[in-house]
Structure formats: structure tokens, C-alpha cells
């Protein structure tokens, strides 16, 4: 596909490369030098060398083949450089520069000329007015935020595309802090050429991507976009956070990237019909992405809960039911088995309260019993690790064994501070079970697993 020349670039020219502190050209160069394994060519008429590398006066002066150009210069100079890229045979460009459609009529005219040049020479352009691209597996890092301020997630399976660069930067930090892995991050700004539709089409075919997460402001090609979402969601989850829900929000979208937001209700309905998982805020986007990256989709909305705290079980029940999910009564066989392994004062109803003095072994036994119940298709495990009876290391080992042998998705809730967070990260990393700090976050995750289970079931039925 055409976009592979960008995401799998072997050589990158940085137009506007610099060593000047605080400059975009410096940040892009530093980020590429720290991670990119291919050839890097600085381009700037002011310098002979940048960070020890020969600096070229023009892209056309570079002796070797160039797969990708990162352009970070004033908007009015971009057209000349893009034309030179086309003449050089460069097939991909990321235009970080702002000053195009988002600024009004004059900027829109400039952007139209940019797209005309891109089409004439066959250059795929991401941007303008964007943060850049980060591909964790290849080390391609054209993000212009300095590395001491901008965290980057480790290689993984979550792809994130964002029309907003600033929001994308925050989410990169968030995903890195959550220790989640990422395949690609794309800030595509004004989408003059490459838009959300083309990106989703590419990511749906990308073997390194398991989950596609999107922040969308406006969509240029509505029908094509929905078609791309429908096709992608039959293979992997597509999670969408749509901005511009209110009239004022839609106006803000227009001034931000020059996009038309359109009616949120129309978008929401059409996206759901196309198989997208809709979330309401950034927290939900992260929670849903983590669950779908780590666990299989759910076969039904019937949820089982195992907890060592009665109050936490009640809160979890309320959150799940408020999202349209079910907390069914356990089968008689399951209840009988629980009565045999739990203390007399424990609750064998759903939620199953195994009491505050529950050791890891009691968790292990209760989890195994509830998971085998044919009336349960998702299990939520709540652990209040402050209990002196619970050894989180032993629990981790038991959960590792259970997660290997069970096809039903498991989600964990572990409210608490430093001690809990430390062990939660270890459990998540070693078992593949997503761990959340609150019932609200976990309920969002479970809902995403259930919703995508429905999408997958419908897709399979269509194929049959």
C-alpha cells in the first residue's frame, strides 16, 4: 500500500533540521537520531552540518533515495519543498507546518495548491498542521515534542490516529504511563491528502496492529469512512472518540483544523451501525483500548464478579448494569461448588464476595468455579490488596495459570495507592489481564469487550 513508504521508511529527510534549542527541527532530529535505524538527511539552507550529519541545501541535493520527508518550515515555503520532493521521487511527506486551511481563506488556497502538487507527483502527505508520526516497532519518530517532555509507548498492538496533535501528545503520555504497547501513532491535522479513511484502511491490513483507536473531529469522505470502519471492524476493534458534540464544539473544530464536525447524533448512529466502539472521553478511549488489546471479545453481556470487598462489588454491579450489561444469578451447580470452597459467611450469589480475609488460594478457587459457569461470559475480579491476607505475587501466579487455560475475558479492578499500583502493573504485564483502578474504568472496558463481541459475531454471521 502507498502508506507503507511512510510507516516503513528506510530513509528520512528532515526539512528545517536545526540544532537551535526549542526549535521543531531540532526536536525531530533528536527523536529520529535516538531511535530510527535508517538513513537521516538534514535539509536546511543555513547549515553545512546538523548533529554531525552533512546538511543539504535541498532535498534534490541528497545523493541517496529518500522514502519520507518531514517538513517543518514556514507554510509559504512548503509548496516549493514539496515540489522538489516530488521531482526527487520522494513518495511520502509529513507536513508539520501550520498556516493552512485552519487559518481561513488564504490558508485554504495554499492548502489546495499543496494537494495539487501532491497529486501531480504522487506524494502521500500527512498533515499539514500536525504533530507527526511515531511507529514504535521501526523507531520512526517524527514527533516534534522533545523526548524529555513527551513519553513514547513501547512497541505493541494499539494504533492511535488523532486529528489533534496536542490531544495525541497527551494520549501518548497516558498510554506510556499505563505501560501499554503501541504499533503506530499518527497526528494527521488538516488531512489535506491522507485522511482518517485512508489511515484506517492501512491499519486494518497492518499485521502489527490489533486495535485501532481514533480521535475524530470531522470526516471529509463520510461514506468511504464508514465503509473503511465497517471493513476494519470485521477484523479488529475500531474505537472512536468523536469531538464536536455540541454546536459550540463543532465551531471550535472548524477553527482548529478547518474541518466540518457535522451532527454528532448522525455520526454516532452511523458509526455504531458500521461496527465502531464509541467512547465518550480520553479515559474511556484508553480503558477500552487496553481491554481489547489484551483480552478476547465477550460472547454475551453476562458478567460474573468475584471480590474481597462487598462494597466494591456493589459499585461494580451498578456500573455494569448502568451500561446495559447483565449480572445473572449463577447456576445451581456453581453455587453448590462455591459453598464447598468458601467460608459459611461468604456470599455465593453474583457478585461472589469471598470476604476480606481471602488469601490468593481462595481467589484462585472461586475464579475457576465462576469461569466454568455457562451463564457467565466475562469475569470481573476485584482485589483490595490492602488486606494482609492477600499475597498479590501468589495471586499473580494463579491468574497467569488461569488466563492461559480460559477463553473467557477477565478484567481486574484494584483500587489503591503505590503498593497496589506496583502489583497491578506486574499482574497486568505477566498475565495479560487488564487492571483498572476503579469500577468505572473497568465497566467501560467490559462494555467494549461485549460490544466488540457483538460486532465480531455479526461479521462472522455475514460471512456464513
CA–CA separation, 361 and 391 (whole Å):
9
Q: What is the pLDDT of residues 108-131, one digit of tens each?
A: 999 999 999 999 999 999 999 999
DSSP, collapsed to helix, strand or coil, labels residue 94 as strand
> What value does the mean pLDDT take over residues 341-367?
97
Tell me how far CA of residue 301 lies from CA of 102, 148, 248, 408, 414, in angstroms.
Answer: 43, 43, 36, 12, 22
Our CA angle for 375, 376, 382, nearest 5°, is 145
249 half-sphere exposure, CB direction, 13 A CA radius: 12
CA–CA separation, 229 and 237 (whole Å):
9
Does this model's pTM top 0.75? My answer is yes
> What value does the mean pLDDT take over residues 253-282?
75
**DSSP secondary structure letters along 144-165:** -S-TTT---PEEEEEEEEES-H
Our CA angle for 349, 365, 290, nearest 5°, is 85
Question: Sorting pLDDT into bands at 50, 70 and 90, what band is 11?
Answer: very high
pLDDT value of position 72? 97
Contacts 24+ apart (CB under 8 A), 319-322: 319/439, 319/440, 319/442, 319/443, 320/380, 320/443, 320/446, 320/447, 322/443
CA–CA separation, 298 and 410 (whole Å):
10
Proportion of the chain above pLDDT 90, given as a percent: 87
pLDDT value of position 405? 81
Question: Sorting pLDDT into bands at 50, 70 and 90, what band is 407?
Answer: confident
CA–CA separation, 421 and 258 (whole Å):
41
Average pLDDT, the chain: 93
pLDDT value of position 64? 87
Question: Sorting pLDDT into bands at 50, 70 and 90, what band is 253?
Answer: very low
- The C-alpha cell at 437 is 483502578
Q: What DSSP character marks residue 381?
A: E
Question: Sorting pLDDT into bands at 50, 70 and 90, what band is 56?
Answer: very high
> What value does the mean pLDDT take over residues 237-253?
70
Contact 323, 450 (CB under 8 A): no
pLDDT value of position 462? 62
pLDDT value of position 245? 63
The structural domains of the chain, ordered by start, are 1-131 (3.40.50.720), 151-294 (3.40.50.261), 297-463 (3.40.50.261)
Q: What DSSP character marks residue 202?
A: H
Whether the predicted pLDDT of 311 surpasses 90: yes
pLDDT value of position 257? 47
127 half-sphere exposure, CB direction, 13 A CA radius: 29
pLDDT value of position 267? 80
pLDDT value of position 268? 86
pLDDT value of position 220? 85
Burial of 74 (0-12, 13-18, 19+ CB in 10 A): exposed
Whether the predicted pLDDT of 248 surpasses 60: no
CA–CA separation, 95 and 191 (whole Å):
10
Pairing type for strands 181-187 and 132-135 reads: antiparallel
**DSSP secondary structure letters along 5-73:** HHHT-SEEEEET----TT-HHHHHHHHHHHH--SEEEEE-TT-SEETTEE-BSSGGG-SS--SEEEE-S
pLDDT value of position 101? 94
Return the minimum-mean-pLDDT range out of 15-24, 57-66, 162-171.
Answer: 162-171
pLDDT value of position 261? 47
Contact 197, 228 (CB under 8 A): yes
Question: Sorting pLDDT into bands at 50, 70 and 90, what band is 459?
Answer: confident
Question: Sorting pLDDT into bands at 50, 70 and 90, what band is 5?
Answer: confident
pLDDT value of position 16? 98
CA–CA separation, 50 and 10 (whole Å):
20
463: number of Cβ within 10 Å: 7
Strand order in the sheet with 124-126: 39-43, 11-15, 68-71, 92-95, 124-126
CA–CA separation, 372 and 408 (whole Å):
9
Whether the predicted pLDDT of 264 surpasses 70: no
Contact 322, 366 (CB under 8 A): no
Question: Sorting pLDDT into bands at 50, 70 and 90, what band is 147?
Answer: confident
CA–CA separation, 4 and 202 (whole Å):
8
Q: Cell 468458601 sits at which residue?
A: 342
Q: Which residues contact 19 (CB under 8 A, 6 or more apart)?
A: 26, 29, 47, 50, 51
Amino acid at each position: 500500500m502507498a502508506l507503507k513508504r511512510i510507516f516503513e521508511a528506510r530513509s528520512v529527510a528532515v526539512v528545517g533540521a536545526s540544532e537551535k534549542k526549542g526549535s521543531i527541527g531540532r526536536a525531530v532530529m533528536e527523536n529520529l537520531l535516538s531511535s530510527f535505524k535508517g538513513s537521516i538527511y538534514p535539509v536546511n539552507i543555513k547549515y553545512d552540518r546538523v548533529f554531525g550529519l552533512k546538511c543539504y541545501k535541498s532535498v534534490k541535493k541528497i545523493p541517496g533515495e529518500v522514502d519520507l520527508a518531514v517538513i517543518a518550515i514556514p507554510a509559504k515555503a512548503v509548496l516549493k519543498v514539496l515540489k522538489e520532493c516530488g521531482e526527487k521521487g520522494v513518495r511520502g511527506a509529513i507536513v508539520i507546518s501550520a498556516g493552512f486551511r485552519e487559518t481561513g481563506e488564504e490558508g485554504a488556497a495554499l492548502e489546495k495548491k499543496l494537494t495539487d502538487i501532491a497529486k501531480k507527483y504522487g506524494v502521500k502527505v500527512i498533515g499539514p498542521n500536525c504533530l507527526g508520526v511515531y511507529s514504535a516497532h521501526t523507531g520512526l519518530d517524527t514527533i516534534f515534542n522533545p523526548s524529555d517532555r513527551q513519553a513514547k509507548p513501547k512497541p505493541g498492538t494499539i494504533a492511535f490516529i488523532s486529528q489533534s496533535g496536542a490531544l495525541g501528545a497527551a494520549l501518548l503520555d497516558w498510554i506510556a504511563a499505563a505501560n501499554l504497547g503501541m504499533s503506530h501513532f499518527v497526528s494527521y491535522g488538516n488531512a489535506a491528502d491522507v485522511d482518517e479513511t485512508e489511515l484506517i484502511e492501512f491499519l486494518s491490513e497492518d499485521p502489527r496492529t490489533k486495535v485501532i483507536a481514533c480521535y475524530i473531529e470531522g470526516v471529509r469522505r463520510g461514506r468511504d469512512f464508514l465503509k473503511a470502519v465497517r471493513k476494519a471492524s470485521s477484523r479488529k476493534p475500531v474505537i472512536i472518540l468523536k469531538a464536536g458534540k455540541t454546536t459550540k464544539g463543532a465551531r471550535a473544530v472548524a477553527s482548529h483544523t478547518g474541518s466540518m464536525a457535522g451532527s454528532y447524533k448522525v455520526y454516532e448512529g452511523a458509526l455504531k451501525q458500521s461496527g465502531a466502539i464509541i467512547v465518550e472521553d480520553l479515559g474511556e478511549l484508553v480503558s477500552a483500548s487496553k481491554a481489547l488489546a489484551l483480552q478476547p471479545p465477550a460472547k454475551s453481556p453476562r458478567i460474573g464478579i468475584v471480590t474481597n470487598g462487598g462494597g466494591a462489588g456493589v459499585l461494580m454491579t451498578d456500573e455494569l448494569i448502568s451500561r446495559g450489561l447483565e449480572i445473572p444469578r449463577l447456576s445451581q451447580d456453581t453455587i453448590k461448588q462455591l459453598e464447598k470452597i468458601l467460608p459459611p459467611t461468604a456470599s455465593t450469589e453474583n457478585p461472589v464476595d469471598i470476604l476480606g480475609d481471602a488469601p490468593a488460594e481462595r481467589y484462585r478457587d472461586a475464579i475457576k468455579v465462576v469461569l466454568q459457569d455457562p451463564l457467565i461470559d466475562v469475569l470481573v475480579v476485584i482485589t483490595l490488596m490492602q488486606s494482609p491476607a492477600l499475597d498479590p505475587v501468589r495471586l499473580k501466579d494463579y491468574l497467569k495459570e488461569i488466563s492461559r487455560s480460559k477463553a473467557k475475558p477477565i478484567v481486574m479492578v484494584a483500587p489503591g495507592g503505590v503498593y497496589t499500583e506496583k502489583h497491578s502493573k506486574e499482574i497486568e504485564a505477566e498475565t495479560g489481564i487488564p487492571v483498572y483502578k476503579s469500577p468505572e474504568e473497568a465497566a467501560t472496558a467490559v462494555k467494549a469487550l461485549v460490544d466488540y463481541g457483538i460486532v465480531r459475531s455479526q461479521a462472522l454471521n455475514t460471512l456464513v
